[in-house]
Structures are given as C-alpha cells and as structure tokens.
Amino acid sequence: MEKVFVFGHKNPDTDSITAAISYAYLKEQLGMNVEAVRLGTVTGETAYALEHFGFEVPRLIEKAATEVGRVILVDHNEKQQSVDDIEDVQIIEVIDHHRIANFETSDPLYYRAEPVGCTATIVKKLYKENGIEIPKNIAGLMLSAIISDSLLFQSPTFTEEDRLAADELALICETDPLVYGLEMLKAGTDLSGKSLEDLIALDAKEFMIDEIKIEIAQVNAVDVESIMSQQGELEDLIYRVIAEKGLGLFLFVVTDIIHNDSTFLALGKEAERASSAFNVALSNNRGMLKGIVSRKMQIVPVLTEALK
Amino acid sequence: MEKVFVFGHKNPDTDSITAAISYAYLKEQLGMNVEAVRLGTVTGETAYALEHFGFEVPRLIEKAATEVGRVILVDHNEKQQSVDDIEDVQIIEVIDHHRIANFETSDPLYYRAEPVGCTATIVKKLYKENGIEIPKNIAGLMLSAIISDSLLFQSPTFTEEDRLAADELALICETDPLVYGLEMLKAGTDLSGKSLEDLIALDAKEFMIDEIKIEIAQVNAVDVESIMSQQGELEDLIYRVIAEKGLGLFLFVVTDIIHNDSTFLALGKEAERASSAFNVALSNNRGMLKGIVSRKMQIVPVLTEALK
C-alpha cells in the first residue's frame, strides 16, 4: 500500500506535531501505511514533550508530492497554512478544530472537525470509536497538546470535552498535568538560542480584516520584561516586516503563563484603533491585556469587530 | 434555547429530507431545540418513504435568517446548493458525504464528512456514538435513504459501511429492503403529474469544467422509452435552458432502475466530445451507457477528464 503522510500546519505547535504522531499511530493500527511528518521547526515546548514521552522529532518535509500521492491533515485545513504543494496531492482526511476556509477538494473525504480546544481531544475520541487502546506514551503526547493549547487549562478555548479528555489521558500516562504541564510550558519559554527575528516569527499568523492585512505574533513567557526590555530592536525588526508585507498592523503579544495576562506591542497605521478596541491606551507603543491569553478567541474577534 | 434549522440541499432527494429528519431527532434527544425543514419539493420516492414510515413532509422554507440565527447542514456543503441566505446565518454543524467546495466559516464548527454512499450511514453512526437508540420509523427513513442513494445497493458509490448500516437498519425497522426498496424506487419513477419541464429540472445539477458550464439532469425510470418517446419536446425545452444559462452541454440521463443502465440525451456544443468520452457514438443525439447509474462517480469524473 502506498504511503500516506500525516502532518499539522507550518510553524508547528505542540498540537500539530503530536496530533500527527498520535493519529498516525492510530491509522497504522487500522492497517494504513502512514508516516507522521512536520512542516517546520519544533518549539522548545514540543521538544520537551517528545523527549519526556520518548519520541523522536518527526521528519521535516518541504514537499509532499515528491514522495506520496495522498495526505492527511491534522490541526489545520487552510491551504496557506499547509505544505506548499498541497494542490498536487489528494487530501483523504482532515482532523481539525479550526474554522474551515480556503479549503476545497474534488473528491469526497473523511473530514472531522469539532469546536473543541485541541486536536488531541478529537483524536482521543477516534481511538475510542475505532476500539484501539491508547498506549501510555501516546496518551502523554495528547495530554501535552491539551496543556499547550489551553495554557494549562486556563484558556477560554478550553471546553468541557477537553477537560474530560485531559483527565482520562492523565490517568493513562500516569502524569500529574499541573506539575508536568508547568515544566513543559516553561521549556517553551526558554528562548536561549532564539534571535529576536525568531521571536516575532515563531508563532506568527496573518489575517485579513476587510482590506487590512494584519499579523499577530504570540510568545509565551515566564519573565515578560526580559523580552520587552529589547523593545527598540524588536520595533526595528517589526517595522521591516510591516513594510515588506504591507501590513496595517503588527501585534506582538507576550503572554505571561504564570499570571495569564498578555503584554503587547502594537505597530502600524492601525495601532491606535487596535488598542482602543481593548480599551487600552497605548503608552510607548505598548499595552497590557488583563486576563487575555487566546489569540483565536480573545484577540482576533475583537480586532475583527474594531477594524471592519 | 433559540431554535436551529436542519436541512439538506435544494432539489432535495430522499437522503436530504430523511437525514434532516433523523439528525434533528437525534439532536432533540441530546437537548437541542431543532426543526427539520426542506428547501424544495419532495419527490414521489421521498413522499412514499415518508408516508410508509408515518412521517409528515417537513416544512418548506425559502429563507433561514428570518427565523433562526444558526443552522445545521446535512447532505451538502456547497453554498450554491444551500438556502439562499446562507451567508446570513451561522453554520454550526455539517453532516455530509460529498466533496468540500465553496464552503467557509468564520468560527470553528462540528463538521463530519465521510466518503460513504449516503448521509444516513453517517447519521446512524452518530446515534451509536451518542448512545441514542434509533426508533423503528427513523430506522426506516435511514434505510430508505441508503436504498435511494445506492439505487437498491447497485451503485458504485455503495460502500461496505453502507451495507453494514443498511443491514442493521433493516433489522430495526423490520423491513425487507429488496421488496420495500423496489416499491419505493418505483414510486419515484411515477411521473404522473410531472411536466417535461419538471423532468429536466427535478434532479439537475450544474458543474463547471474548466470554463465550460454543463448541466446534468437525472431521472430514474422503469419504462425508459415512455420518457424518451417525447424526445422532440424534451429537446425544445433543453435548448431553451442551454441558451438561457449559456451551457456548453446539457446531459439528460434516464436511468433504468431494473437493468441498471442509463440512456442519455446530449445537447450543446460539447455533446460529441461528451459522448465520445464514454466511447459511445451519438445517434439522433442519444446514447446508451451500459452499467452506468451514478452521476457522481461514473459520469462527472469522465466528463471532467474529457472536457478539460
């Protein structure tokens, strides 16, 4: 049987990497010839989770069609987030928890999306539906994904289904989520070896709001000030990105994973409008978002409303 | 709780109507306030199934947003096949077995598509996954949908999963699928009260192949010749449609449900190219497709290949 690739989005986070591994394992048990691969560098957080539960980092690919004819997407569906030659392969399955956009197939497929906080929560259900037992180390990966996407169960994207999944997975992998989770998240905030260019690109996503192109980069941190103290150099780099991409706004969000607040740097023509959308007065291009940790649920919708 | 509409596609077939009813019943059991509605006239076949198992025809709607804010789509996802004001409501769920195209949401949703022959096969799984028992009459509706979409288990779209679902549903509703199914399909071929205009519009779908707009209308029949004997009048009507819509091809397909063959009438600039794609020589604009019953799997892909 010809091999099928399973992969998450570009700039992969822990959910994208671990969902590929855990869903690939399930498909293997069901008799499919699959390989979990990745579309970018893994974060320190993901590397910590993989090592903790005894997994290798999946192989990096730049093209899919040179090796396979069919692929399975996890944790994404929008073409611009997927492998560059996605148009040249057949998408046979999608397992995801995002909105559906810029996605089209010519054939029927298996598509499973649920409005939950994490792809792992859906993959866990699929093990159950298919009657396949979840191995201890795979359960650990899935738990890591839920911890990551929910910022240790704090994010408003975290649903009751995610909670139930996390509880059950914690039992299977015999891991205390609060102790392990904080260590894992901290590993993700270790920015040694990361340049400031890396910081503003690592977890950056572009959005179009009406005719305005905006980019929001998010970094998790324990010590927010150690990043923000380099504001001058960050601004130099961000202004360069704004000019190159023709952005109306670049929002650099540093999320304090201990206190669950975010500090932001807003640059570009729409910076004032953006910060007033959050009832925050910009001071030296900076602002503070009390209790805000989720780009998807707490930042993008507010900006969408304000900028259109 | 605000009501949610559940509906299938325009020009509804038995699967679209019965999937709306059976999925709405499931959602009600799960505590949602839902109403199954329809976007067009039910066929004779569907009316037969509804009456046989004791259901009313669902209410016809022309707009959704005037009554509800949220909807669930079954048996379709493409916007042009859905309610006219689909852009004005939130799609919270999709249960479907077609390709995904011309579909986009701004929020995460529950999307369940599987490459099986019938939406009912997926709905049946959802009853099981949610631990809800399938009532006898609902099982009858689902079985009717599988019989309809598979032309009594003959179509190449019919999968092993559909077969397993049909077997189980037949047991629940205590119905012999072969006896009941033939009666139901025959009811669908009763064209009394149908004008020739109805015939070419009842189950017509438009497709774009490269820059060529084509339309394929399909009618099931026991007595193919009684329809084709009116070829002259059919052609007059079809040429009018071709001119109005700027079609490159109109294919009128009459499928013999007893012998599982189809006779077609091909009109328009691309008629010759279309028939040679099937290795059939047109004679008096007509041709015969041996063993071909599925527009989705046996006609559209061949034309796509030939016309691009």
Instruction: Tell me how far apart the alpha carbons of residues B13 and B90 are, in angstroms, rounded to a whole number.
Output: 24
With CB atoms and an 8 Å threshold, state whether B109 touches A99. yes
Residue A28 neighbours by CB under 8 Å, 6+ apart: A34
Among partner residues B104, B108, B114, which is closest to A113 by beta-carbon distance?
B108
Model-level ipTM above the cut of 0.90: no
Instruction: Tell me how far apart the alpha carbons of residues A200 and B73 are, in angstroms, rounded to a whole number.
Output: 40
Instruction: Tell me how far apart the alpha carbons of residues B62 and B85 are, in angstroms, rounded to a whole number.
Output: 9
Percentage of residues of chain A with pLDDT beyond 90:
84
Instruction: Tell me how far apart the alpha carbons of residues A76 and A101 are, in angstroms, rounded to a whole number.
Output: 10
Among partner residues A99, A108, A115, which is closest to B97 by beta-carbon distance?
A108
Look-up: residue for tokens 């549903």?
B169
Shortest CA distance to A88 belongs to which of A19, A210, A5? Answer: A5
- Taking 80 as the threshold, does the pLDDT of residue A269 lie above it? yes
* Strand-strand pairing, B212-221 and A249-256: unpaired
Beta-bridge mates of residue A213: A208
* Strand-strand pairing, B70-74 and A286-289: unpaired
Q: What is the pLDDT of residue A301?
A: 84
Question: 3-state secondary structure string, B108-168?
Answer: CCEEEECCCCCHHHHHHHHHHHCCCCCCHHHHHHHHHHHHHHHCCCCCCCCCHHHHHHHHH
Distances (CA, A) of B270 to A212, B217, B277, B282: 44, 16, 11, 12
Stretch 60-79 of chain B: residues touching chain A, C-beta under 8 Å: none
Q: Which of the residues A73, A90, A111, A298 would you substitute to probe the B interface, choosing the one with the greatest number of B C-beta atoms within 10 Å?
A: A111
Q: What is the pLDDT of residue B193?
A: 81
Q: What is the pLDDT of residue B190?
A: 84
Q: Report the pLDDT averaged over residues A130-159.
A: 96
- pLDDT-derived band at A192, boundaries 50, 70, 90: confident
Stretch 273-292 of chain B: residues touching chain A, C-beta under 8 Å: none
With CB atoms and an 8 Å threshold, state whether B104 touches A108. no
| 8 Å CB contact between A271 and A285 | yes
Q: Report the pLDDT averaged over residues A269-292.
A: 94
pLDDT in tens, A80-119: 889 999 999 999 999 999 989 889 888 899 999 999 999 9
Look-up: residue for tokens 């990745």?
A38
Q: How many residues does chain B have?
A: 308
With CB atoms and an 8 Å threshold, state whether A115 touches B113. no
Question: 3-state secondary structure string, B239-305?
Answer: HHHHHHHCCCEEEEEEEECCCCEEEEEEECCCHHHHHHHCCCCCECCEEEECCCCCHHHHHHHHHHH
Q: Is the CB of A129 inside 8 Å of chain B's CB atoms?
A: yes
pLDDT in tens, A131-143: 999 999 999 999 9
Joined tokens for residue B256: 């013999």
Mean pLDDT of chain A: 94
pLDDT in tens, A21-79: 999 999 999 999 999 999 999 999 999 999 999 999 999 999 999 999 999 999 999 99
Joined tokens for residue B18: 């019965």
Cβ-Cβ pairs closer than 8 A, A with B, add up to 66
- Taking 90 as the threshold, does the pLDDT of residue A169 lie above it? yes
Look up residue A298 and give its DSSP letter: I
User: Considering only A134-138, A229-233, A297-301, which range has the smallest mean pLDDT?
Assistant: A297-301
Q: Is the CB of A136 inside 8 Å of chain B's CB atoms?
A: no
User: Considering only A187-196, A287-296, B108-117, B160-169, which range has the smallest mean pLDDT?
Assistant: A187-196
Q: What is the pLDDT of residue A15?
A: 98
| 8 Å CB contact between B37 and B7 | yes
Instruction: Tell me how far apart the alpha carbons of residues B107 and B263 are, in angstroms, rounded to a whole number.
Output: 45
Shortest CA distance to A55 belongs to which of A95, A24, A96? Answer: A24
Q: In chain B, whose CA is at the least distance from the CA of A76? A: B108
Q: Please list the pLDDT of chain B residue by residue as tens digits (308 residues).
A: 799 999 999 989 999 999 999 999 999 999 999 999 999 999 999 999 999 999 999 999 999 999 999 999 999 999 989 999 999 999 999 999 998 988 988 889 999 999 999 999 999 999 999 999 999 999 999 999 999 999 999 999 999 999 999 999 999 999 999 999 999 999 988 887 889 999 999 888 888 888 899 999 999 998 899 899 999 999 999 999 999 999 999 999 999 988 999 999 999 999 999 999 999 999 999 999 999 999 988 998 899 888 87
Chain B residue numbers with beta carbons less than 8 Å from the beta carbon of A98 are 108
pLDDT in tens, A239-259: 999 999 999 999 999 999 889
Q: What is the pLDDT of residue B97?
A: 96
Distances (CA, A) of A252 to A115, A278, B21: 26, 15, 48
- Taking 90 as the threshold, does the pLDDT of residue A208 lie above it? no
Q: Which of the residues A75, A99, A100, A308 would you substitute to probe the B interface, choosing the one with the greatest number of B C-beta atoms within 10 Å?
A: A100
Angle in degrees, 0-180, between the axes of helices B160-173 and B119-129, rounded to the nearest 10: 70
Q: Rounded to two decimals, what is the model's pTM?
A: 0.87
Q: Is the CB of A100 inside 8 Å of chain B's CB atoms?
A: yes
Joined tokens for residue A273: 């409008």
SS3 label, residue A279: coil
Sheet holding A212-221, edge to edge: A204-209, A212-221, A249-256, A261-267, A286-289
